[in-house]
Structure 1
């Protein structure tokens, strides 16, 4: 090596491994609520932790396409209306990291927290946060998170004013309101066919009863109006409404119009 010349290399991965978990430890977790998520700078990217009753259950990272707000808001919705899971018990920590594209930050943190706790964060191996599998893929095996915490269609919601409404209008409102996927059969072409629904929904009315409302009660009223050929099926992570008579391997339950 020439005199007066040297080479210095910073091992970013080793530095992150030794420093970032300690930095996370110094942060206070806050509830996984939209008002806290909204306070994070819009374009901020980095790593985050989800905690359940103070225990780390999920390690995630953001990228250029999806920052903290997008990912944490998605997780916020994903823990709502789930059996055996109180959203109030879920909190998060987020750290903006300005240089991390050259190595897998998420994997590094998972490995480090697994080493410290001798247990991998449980939601990282459960399919938590997976994308909706899409139309007519209901025969796929459900994610472990969804099996442990299936959607709760008996949770009280404030959806539709009691009275007579077009069926499609009610289903559109329900689709917009629910924190989990709700899909129904549509008879039009294209990805936006759900906006037009099915002929049995358009221009046909249903009665929304008075009293407390749940996803179950609204769907039951819709089924009663559409007739016995329609079936509502509850799967671990979503609800579907199709004109069919089908039993799905992973279904939690299915119901039809009252006789």
Structure 2
């Protein structure tokens, strides 16, 4: 009998009489789920990453994919609300240079809450990494504030913050002409920026008065203004991905590109490591 076109069985363990009745078999349920999720997302249209599109979504958990100029760049999940998670990304990208929200699109799937325990975004990441890289899942895009201990880190050249630094020429949301304490202004700045502004504490912030002279002042203008009002030895430092303010002047930071001291912006040249693997995204798993 010809064996042409017949699939051959892998060798199996049998008995002495030549019968074969058992062998090893590996069931990859996670791979199957990842393939199904990827196929479902691939079959969807893409919507602009804009409030109008996000507002049509249901307040449900799920997974999503982001696209930059039509190219797939990021996989994430929302444990509670897809709209809330996508709005976070919209706001973050709105405060960056070298990128426009008009270039961004998304697609998403609602996923049952009990399914979230299987980490569906990791299933998708594994699926797509098997066919190539996912640029933004490995370059710090989804990371939250790394904390004080990471402020001096030298970033890789392919890090999201290096490719798309914060925009200091963007007006601060909701900031109106006013007069108040420095502490009140710092809180307003923090709430009005689409990137993180972290600062130290000082009792003097509650006694020093500051006047905001105009509406729609940019971050650059406001940081120049408050750098005159902060106590001696304090400085504002614009890093590639966020802004910090501490009593460490004239300390320098390896990834800083602008300092504010005594009312003057001081330009700097940030360092960057050669392109390579960056820290793993720590916040694609939900809000």
CA offsets per residue over residues 228-249 of structure 1, 9 Å max, x none? 5321101111101122211112
Larger radius of gyration: 2
Matched, 1:174 2:189: yes
Rounded Cα–Cα distance in structure 2 between residues aligned with 1:26 and 1:41: 19
* 1:253 partnered with 2:258: yes
What SS class does the counterpart of residue 206 from structure 2 fall into? Answer: coil
The Cα shift of 1:170 comes to 1.3
The CA distance in 2 between the partners of 1:133 and 1:112, in whole Å, is 28
Q: Which residue pairs with 1:190 in the alignment? A: none
Partner of 1:93: 107
Matched-pair contact (CA < 8 Å) for 1:182–1:240: yes
Q: Distance in 2 between matches of 1:185 and 1:110?
A: 37
CA contact (8 A) 2:179 2:212 kept: yes
Work out the CA distance in 2 between the residues paired with 1:44 and 1:73. 14
Establish whether residue 241 from structure 1 lines up as the match of residue 245 from structure 2: yes
Gaps of 5+ in 1: 1-9, 187-197
Give TM-score scaled by structure 1 length: 0.78
- Which whole-Å CA distance do the structure 2 matches of 1:151 and 1:141 have between them? 16
Structure 1 residues 112 and 226 mapped into 2: Cα distance closer, same or farther (>3 Å)? closer
Q: TM-score of the superposition, structure 2-length normalised? A: 0.71
TM alignment of 1:76-225, pairs within 5 A: 76-98=90-112, 100=115, 103-115=118-130, 119-142=132-155, 144-186=159-201, 198-210=202-214, 212-225=216-229
Q: Deviation at 1:174?
A: 0.8
Provide the C-alpha distance between the structure 1 equivalents of 2:110 and 2:148, rounded to a whole number of angstroms.
36
> Which runs of 5 or more residues in structure 2 are unaligned?
1-26, 265-287
SS of 1:174's equivalent in the other structure is helix
**Cα distance in 2, alignment partners of residues 18 and 167 from structure 1:** 53
Instruction: Give the Cα–Cα distance (whole angstroms) in 1 for the partners of residues 196 and 206 of structure 2.
Output: 21
CA contact (8 A) 2:239 2:256 kept: yes
Residues 104, 203 of structure 1: alpha-carbon distance in 2 compared, 3 angstrom cutoff: closer
CA RMSD, 1 decimal: 2.7
Structure number with greater CO (CA < 8 Å, separation at least 6) is: 2
Aligned residues: 235
The ranges of structure 1 where at least 4 consecutive aligned residues each deviate by more than 6 angstroms after the TM superposition are none
What's the secondary structure of 1:200's corresponding residue? helix
